[in-house]
């Protein structure tokens, strides 16, 4: 800037001094001097009040900024509108005339559910109270036998999705013998049952090896099932975040397709969970949307390999990269993938992406031995990259009156026989056994996928599942009505929502009858096309219609509660 034109040398120097002075006063100084002047005449109480007010405003502002940067401007408005609609209709339904009708209809549905679930048959004895004299063994056995005849969905024929993954007589025999031998054992007392401790530690070691955990630092624990493994992974991440990063308002980021066990963890452990939408074509988590939710409160990112609803594997490699970049733990839910995913490559399938500890960002993996590991129900493994992470799931107290106490998982006492059964199954199957079952199961799932893609034009396979689960939707027929039609034919596929779909988790039992399923699917689809279908004609369609509508928000939850209550009705 040439100032000579405006005046003397003296004037020029004075002007420059003033400009420099102004520049030296940065914003912080200005705010500081403002605050100093503002507060020097105020009482302590007013100052505290103002600080609380400002921090409240600040927190709201941060929340709003994170909300908008997560969902985007349009998305934020949509979410707010959805929530407002739900609140509006919920309020509407709580008004006396509507409330009464809803209550009546819910009660009616629950009564119907009870009539179907609770057997009232004079041919059975009922034990609502202790029998005053105990029953001799033979009578106990005959009671047990008679209950096996209660009408039920037949798993032996392989027409049920998932549920029983092996079901072979020889294996059941082995597990029963193992259970018999270790029936009284308790994992809480390794001094009394040292053999159980040995087998339990070997189960964890074998599974760590399968998932390529780091040899030096990899570690894990046994749990009662996939849900407990997920609960512990989330708890560990929360404690890790609190201990090492001082995070007090923890948040988890997970695909919308993540197992409900993560929602349960959020509910139990006071964590905020963000569900990230899936890519509309691949049904993998949308990475661009996921990234936007990362902030300083993020304690964990989750992905599935594969997920429960659609059997789709999230881009674990990209999630790993992101996790490394932001130094955030990453959990891979391989509960369902269990003993399928680790053996796919060795089974000769070439299209398997990396999903385990070989990816540097993966810090924990859950694997259900009681699914494709074929172990007795009640066993699963939670694995960690290092012991620091595992320690964060431990419960420890040194001040209990009952003595020094610590337990690795959620339970206290745990029957050791379940893990003994798991150990016996694993060493009995061996790597070759699991590779063979993996080949058979994947080939069957792919056969089903291909048949639906090529021979059932009315149905659409969701994404491109490469593992053991195949799900399908339809824009031609009501998929829930199809579920009911299949029920009539003895099939029990899982019903999914958002979008409405069905899935089959292929097990060893479904291998011989997949052709029957394709044929029954074709027949059922034809029957539906040729009839004039109304959603109210189908129980499942009606139920999911209620669950999916904003107008009846909350009603489906009431039905679920009714179902849970019914479990304990005698």
Ligand X SMILES: *Cc1c(COP(=O)(O)O)cnc(C)c1O
For ligand X, the closer of residues 382 and 556 by Cβ is 382
| 314 near ligand X, rule: CB under 6 A | no
List the one residue out of 332, 342, 338 whose CA is nearest residue 262: 332
Closest separation in Å from C-beta 373 to ligand X? 11
| 226 near ligand X, rule: CB under 6 A | yes
Specify the stretch interacting with ligand X by CB under 6 A; choose among 225-233, 448-456, 480-488, 543-551.
225-233
List the one residue out of 238, 346, 245 whose CA is nearest residue 296: 245
Closest separation in Å from C-beta 344 to ligand X? 16
What is the CA 209 to chain-centroid distance, rounded? 24
Cis? peptide before 499, omega within 30° of 0 = yes
For ligand X, the closer of residues 320 and 366 by Cβ is 366
List the one residue out of 345, 343, 341 whose CA is nearest residue 362: 341
Question: Is residue 255 a contact partner of residue 302, using CB atoms and an 8 Å limit?
Answer: yes
Tell me how far apart the alpha carbons of residues 336 and 314 are, in angstroms, rounded to a whole number. 13
Closest separation in Å from C-beta 302 to ligand X? 10
Closest separation in Å from C-beta 338 to ligand X? 9
Q: Which of the residues 162 through 191 are near ligand X (CB under 6 A)?
A: none
Question: Is residue 299 a contact partner of residue 241, using CB atoms and an 8 Å limit?
Answer: yes
Q: Which of the residues 262 through 291 are near ligand X (CB under 6 A)?
A: none
Q: Which of the residues 230 through 259 are near ligand X (CB under 6 A)?
A: 230, 259
For ligand X, the closer of residues 210 and 335 by Cβ is 335
| 368 near ligand X, rule: CB under 6 A | yes
Report the SS3 class of residue 445. Answer: helix
Q: Which of the residues 2 through 61 are near ligand X (CB under 6 A)?
A: none
Nearest to ligand X by Cβ — which residue?
226
For ligand X, the closer of residues 70 and 309 by Cβ is 309
Residue ranges in 456-510 assigned as alpha helix (H): 479-488
Closest separation in Å from C-beta 501 to ligand X? 15
List the one residue out of 534, 535, 540, 569 whose CA is nearest residue 556: 540
Closest separation in Å from C-beta 563 to ligand X? 16
Specify the stretch interacting with ligand X by CB under 6 A; choose among 25-33, 226-234, 485-493, 553-561.
226-234
| 303 near ligand X, rule: CB under 6 A | no
Task: Count CA atoms closer than 13 A to 348's CA, side-chain side.
Answer: 9
Closest separation in Å from C-beta 162 to ligand X? 8
For ligand X, the closer of residues 225 and 361 by Cβ is 225
For ligand X, the closer of residues 199 and 230 by Cβ is 230
Report the SS3 class of residue 421. Answer: helix
Specify the stretch interacting with ligand X by CB under 6 A; choose among 67-75, 220-228, 235-243, 279-287.
220-228
Closest separation in Å from C-beta 164 to ligand X? 13
Question: Is residue 422 a contact partner of residue 369, using CB atoms and an 8 Å limit?
Answer: yes
Q: Which of the residues 325 through 364 are near ligand X (CB under 6 A)?
A: 333, 335-336
For ligand X, the closer of residues 304 and 393 by Cβ is 304
Q: Which of 175, 187, 236, 304 binds ligand X (CB under 6 A)?
A: 304
What is the CA 564 to chain-centroid distance, rounded? 19
For ligand X, the closer of residues 225 and 250 by Cβ is 225
417: which residues sit within 8 A by CB, 6+ positions away?
178, 179, 181, 182, 183, 185
Tell me how far apart the alpha carbons of residues 537 and 319 are, in angstroms, rounded to a whole number. 44
Question: Exposure string (b/e) for 423-456, b if CB count within 10 Å is 16 or more?
Answer: bbbbeebeeebbbebbbebbebbbbbbebbeeeb
Question: Is residue 465 a contact partner of residue 311, using CB atoms and an 8 Å limit?
Answer: yes
Closest separation in Å from C-beta 339 to ligand X? 13
Write out the H or E segment, with its range, that includes residue 384. strand 380-384
40: which residues sit within 8 A by CB, 6+ positions away?
none
Report the SS3 class of residue 258. Answer: coil
Closest separation in Å from C-beta 489 to ligand X? 25
List the one residue out of 320, 322, 315, 309 whose CA is nearest residue 286: 315
Query: What's the farthest any 2 CA atoms get from each other in the chain?
Result: 118
Closest separation in Å from C-beta 148 to ligand X? 23
Token digits for 309? 């609803």
Report the SS3 class of residue 295. Answer: coil
| 308 near ligand X, rule: CB under 6 A | yes
Specify the stretch interacting with ligand X by CB under 6 A; choose among 303-311, 420-428, 483-491, 509-517.
303-311
Q: How many residues lie near ligand X (CB under 6 A)?
A: 14
For ligand X, the closer of residues 185 and 380 by Cβ is 380
Write out the H or E segment, with its range, that includes residue 261. helix 260-269
Q: Which of 261, 311, 315, 409 binds ligand X (CB under 6 A)?
A: 261
Closest separation in Å from C-beta 62 to ligand X? 32
For ligand X, the closer of residues 109 and 290 by Cβ is 290
The residue ranges that bind ligand X (CB under 6 A) are: 225-227, 230, 259, 261, 304, 307-308, 333, 335-336, 368, 380
């Amino acid at each position: 800037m040439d100032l000579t034109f405006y005046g003397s040398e003296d004037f020029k120097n004075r002007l420059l001094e003033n400009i420099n002075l102004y520049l030296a006063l940065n914003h912080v100084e200005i705010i500081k001097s403002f605050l100093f002047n503002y507060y020097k005449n105020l009482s302590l109480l007013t100052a505290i009040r103002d600080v609380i007010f400002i921090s409240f405003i600040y927190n709201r502002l941060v929340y709003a900024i994170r909300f908008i940067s997560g969902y985007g401007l349009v998305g934020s408005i949509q979410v707010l509108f959805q929530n407002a609609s739900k609140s509006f209709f919920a309020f509407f339904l709580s008004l006396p005339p509507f409330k009464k009708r809803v209550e009546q209809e819910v009660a009616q549905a629950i009564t119907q559910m009870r009539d179907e679930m609770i057997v009232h048959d004079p041919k059975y004895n009922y034990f609502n109270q202790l029998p005053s004299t105990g029953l001799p063994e033979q009578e106990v056995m005959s009671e047990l036998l008679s209950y096996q005849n209660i009408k039920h969905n037949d798993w032996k024929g392989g027409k049920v999705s998932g549920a029983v993954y092996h079901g072979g007589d020889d294996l059941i025999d082995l597990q029963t013998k193992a259970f018999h031998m270790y029936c009284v054992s308790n994992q809480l007392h390794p001094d009394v049952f040292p053999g159980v401790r040995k087998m339990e530690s070997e189960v964890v070691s074998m599974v760590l090896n399968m998932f390529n955990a780091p040899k030096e630092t990899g570690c894990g624990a046994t749990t009662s099932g996939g849900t407990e493994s997920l609960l512990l992974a989330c708890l560990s991440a929360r404690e890790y975040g609190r201990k090492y990063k001082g995070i007090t308002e923890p948040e988890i980021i997970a695909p919308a397709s993540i197992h409900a066990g993560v929602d349960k963890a959020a509910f139990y452990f006071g964590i905020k969970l963000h569900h990230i939408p899936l890519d509309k074509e691949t049904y993998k988590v949308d990475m661009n949307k996921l990234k936007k939710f990362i902030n300083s409160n993020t304690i964990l990112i989750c992905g599935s390999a594969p997920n429960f609803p659609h059997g789709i594997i999230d881009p674990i490699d990209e999630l790993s990269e992101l996790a490394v970049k932001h130094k955030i733990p990453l959990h891979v839910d391989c509960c369902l993938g269990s003993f399928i995913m680790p053996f796919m490559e060795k089974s000769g399938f070439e299209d398997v992406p990396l999903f385990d500890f070989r990816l540097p960002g993966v810090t924990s993996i859950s694997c259900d031995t009681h699914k494709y590991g074929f172990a007795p129900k009640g066993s699963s493994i939670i694995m960690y990259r290092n012991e620091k992470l595992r320690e964060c799931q431990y419960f420890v107290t040194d001040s209990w009156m009952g003595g020094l106490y610590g337990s690795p998982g959620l339970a206290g006492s745990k029957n050791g026989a379940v893990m003994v059964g798991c150990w016996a199954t694993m060493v009995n199957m061996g790597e070759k056994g699991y590779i063979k079952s993996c080949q058979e199961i994947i080939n069957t799932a792919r056969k089903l996928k291909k048949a639906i893609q090529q021979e059932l034009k009315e149905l659409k396979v969701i994404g491109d599942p490469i593992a053991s689960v195949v799900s399908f939707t339809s824009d031609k027929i009501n998929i829930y009505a199809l579920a009911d039609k299949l029920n009539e034919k003895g099939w029990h596929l899982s019903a999914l929502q958002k979008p409405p779909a069905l899935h089959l988790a292929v097990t060893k039992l479904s291998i011989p009858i997949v052709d029957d399923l394709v044929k029954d699917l074709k027949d059922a689809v034809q029957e539906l096309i040729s009839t004039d279908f109304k959603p109210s004609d189908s129980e499942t369609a009606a139920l999911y219609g209620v669950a999916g509508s904003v107008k009846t928000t909350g009603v489906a939850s009431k039905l679920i509660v009714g179902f849970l209550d019914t479990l304990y009705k005698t």
